[in-house]
Chains A and B, each alone.
Chain A
Amino acid sequence: MLAFILKRVSLVIPTFFGVTLLTFGLIRLVPGDPIDILVGERGIDPARHAELLHQMGLDRPLPEQYTRYIAGVLSGDLGRSIVTKTPVLEEFAALFPATVELSLCAMVLAVAVGIPMGVLAAVRRGTVLDYATMGLSVTGFSMPLFWWALLLILFFSVYLGWTPVSGRVSALFWVEPHTGFMLIDSLFSDERGAFVSAVRHLILPSIALGTIPLAVISRMTRSSMLEVLGEDYIRTARAKGLAPLRVVGLHALRNAMIPVVTVIGLAVGVLFAGAILTETIFAWPGVGKWLVESVRRRDYPVLQGGVLLVATVVMAVNLLVDVLYGMINPRLRARR
Chain B
Amino acid sequence: MDSSTLPAARQSASGAPPHPFLEFVQEYSSSAGAMAGFLVICALIVVALGADWLSPHPPHEQYRNALLVPPAWAAEGNAQFLLGTDDIGRDILSRIFHGARVSMSVGALVVVLALLLGIALGLVAGYFRGITDIAIMRAMDVMLALPSLLLAIVIVAILGPSLLNAALAVVIVQLPHYVRLTRAAVLNEWNKDYVTASRLAGAGPIRLMLVTVLPNCVAPLIVQATWGLSTAILDLAALGFLGLGAQPPTPEWGTMLANALQFIQRAWWVVTFPGLAILLTVLAFNLMGDGLRDALDPKLKQ
Interface residues of A (CB under 8 A from B): 14-16, 18-19, 21-22, 26, 29-30, 135, 138-139, 141-148, 150-151, 153-154, 158, 269-270, 272-274, 276-277, 280-281, 291-292, 295-296, 300, 303, 307, 310-311, 314-315
Decide yes or no whether B104 CB sits under 8 A from chain A.
Answer: no
Residue of B138, B242, B254 touching A18 (CB-CB under 8 A): B138
In the bound assembly, the distance between CA atoms of A19 and B142 in angstroms comes to 6
Which one, A21, A139, A147, A276, contacts B271 given CB within 8 A?
A147
| A121 CB to nearest chain B CB (Å) | 14
Bound complex: CA A153 to CA B264 (Å): 8
Contact B154 A277 (CB under 8 A): no
Q: Is the CB of A273 within 8 A of B150?
A: yes
CB distance B146 to A154 under 8 Å? Answer: no
Nearest-CB residue, chain A, relative to B265 = A158
Q: How far is the CA of A13 from the CA of B274 in the complex (A)?
A: 43
Number of A-B contacts (CB under 8 A): 128
Within 8 Å of chain A (Cβ to Cβ): is B238?
yes
Within the complex, the shortest CB–CB distance from B46 to chain A, in Å, comes to: 21
Please report whether the interface of chain B is mostly helix, strand, loop or mixed according to DSSP.
Answer: helix
CB distance from A284 to the nearest CB of B (A): 14
Bound Cα distance from A102 to B62, whole angstroms: 40
- The contact sample of 15 A-B pairs, CB cut-off 8 A, is A14-B138, A19-B142, A19-B145, A144-B237, A144-B238, A144-B254, A144-B278, A146-B254, A147-B279, A269-B147, A276-B147, A277-B149, A303-B154, A310-B147, A314-B145
Quick one: which of A30, A269, A270, A292 contacts B153, CB cutoff 8 A?
A292
Contact A138 B287 (CB under 8 A): yes
User: Chain A residues near B206 (CB, 8 Å)?
Assistant: none
Q: How far is the CA of A307 from the CA of B151 in the complex (A)?
A: 8
Is the beta-carbon distance between B148 and A22 smaller than 8 angstroms? no
CB distance from A325 to the nearest CB of B (A): 18
- Which of chain A's residues have a CB closer than 8 A to the CB of B238? 144-146, 277
Does B260 touch A at the CB level, under 8 Å?
Answer: yes
**Cβ of B224: which chain A residues have Cβ within 8 Å of it?**
none
The answer for the CA separation of A296 and B153 in the assembled complex, in Å, is 11
Given contacts A150-B275, A154-B271, A291-B153, contact A138 B146 (CB under 8 A): no
Interface residue B139 (Cβ < 8 Å from any Cβ of A): yes
Q: Is the CB of A150 within 8 A of B271?
A: yes
By a CB distance below 8 angstroms, the chain A residues around B149 are 273-274, 276-277
A21 to B141, CA, bound (A): 13
Q: Known: A142-B230, A144-B254. Contact between A311 and B241, CB under 8 A?
A: no
B138 and A303 contact, CB distance less than 8 A: no
10 additional contacts (CB under 8 A) given A150-B271, A273-B148, A295-B157: A14-B141, A19-B142, A19-B145, A138-B283, A154-B272, A158-B265, A274-B149, A276-B147, A276-B149, A291-B153
